[in-house]
């Protein structure tokens, strides 16, 4: 009888524990700044390129998220302008971020070479698999979508093959 009561208590306790919901991107748009690999650029040319706005590098007609960014004014003429968004950097050095009512914590799994973002919003827990731990930067912000729901935006910037890539992903909360 004691064993049955103990087992029942453990099952009830386990069912009451907080569950973590895995989030997948609900939108993704890729942007890029390409540098001219055919010749050496002067410092002024390199500075000018690095300060330019990245250009969208995907099919426009098939990307609803890109259209949403256009309507919000974050993209114009295929260029990403994040100045209207309040991005906050998140890194191994700054792994904890609070965005409005959401607590975020970056976890780096060095053995697997992956990073994860843990979110807590109104007592609910979420997990975002950010993918490979790339040598670059990541920023996070909240974004109000067209239907007034709050979404998490994650912007990753990394250098690869003659240019900087900017991967912008949206996660529905």
pLDDT at 151: 92
167 neighbors 153 (Cβ within 8 angstroms):
no
Question: Mean pLDDT of successive 10-residue segments in the chain (173 residues)?
Answer: 48 55 94 77 67 84 88 92 93 92 93 94 94 89 86 93 90 91
pTM of the model: 0.82
Q: Residue written as tokens 């909240």?
A: 142
In 93-162 the beta strands, taken as DSSP E runs, fall at 96-99, 102-109, 114-121, 124-132, 136-144, 150-159
Q: What pLDDT is attached to residue 66? A: 93
Q: What single string gives the DSSP state of each residue in 16-35?
A: HSPPEEEE--SEEEEEEEE-
Write down the pLDDT at residue 144: 86
């Amino acid at each position: 009888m004691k064993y049955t009561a103990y087992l029942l208590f453990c099952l009830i306790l386990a069912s009451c524990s907080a569950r973590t919901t895995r989030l997948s991107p609900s939108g993704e748009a890729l942007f890029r700044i390409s540098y001219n690999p055919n010749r050496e650029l002067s410092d002024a040319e390199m500075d000018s390129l690095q300060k330019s706005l990245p250009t969208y590098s995907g099919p426009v007609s098939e990307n609803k998220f890109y259209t949403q960014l256009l309507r919000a004014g974050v993209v114009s003429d295929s260029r990403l302008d994040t100045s209207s968004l309040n991005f906050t950097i998140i890194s191994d050095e700054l792994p904890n971020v609070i965005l409005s009512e959401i607590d975020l914590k970056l976890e780096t799994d060095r053995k697997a070479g992956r990073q994860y973002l843990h979110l807590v919003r109104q007592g609910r827990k979420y997990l975002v698999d950010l993918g490979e731990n790339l040598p670059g930067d990541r920023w996070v912000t909240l974004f109000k979508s067209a239907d007034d729901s709050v979404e998490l935006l994650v912007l990753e910037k990394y250098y690869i093959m003659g240019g900087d890539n900017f991967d912008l992903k949206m996660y529905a909360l």
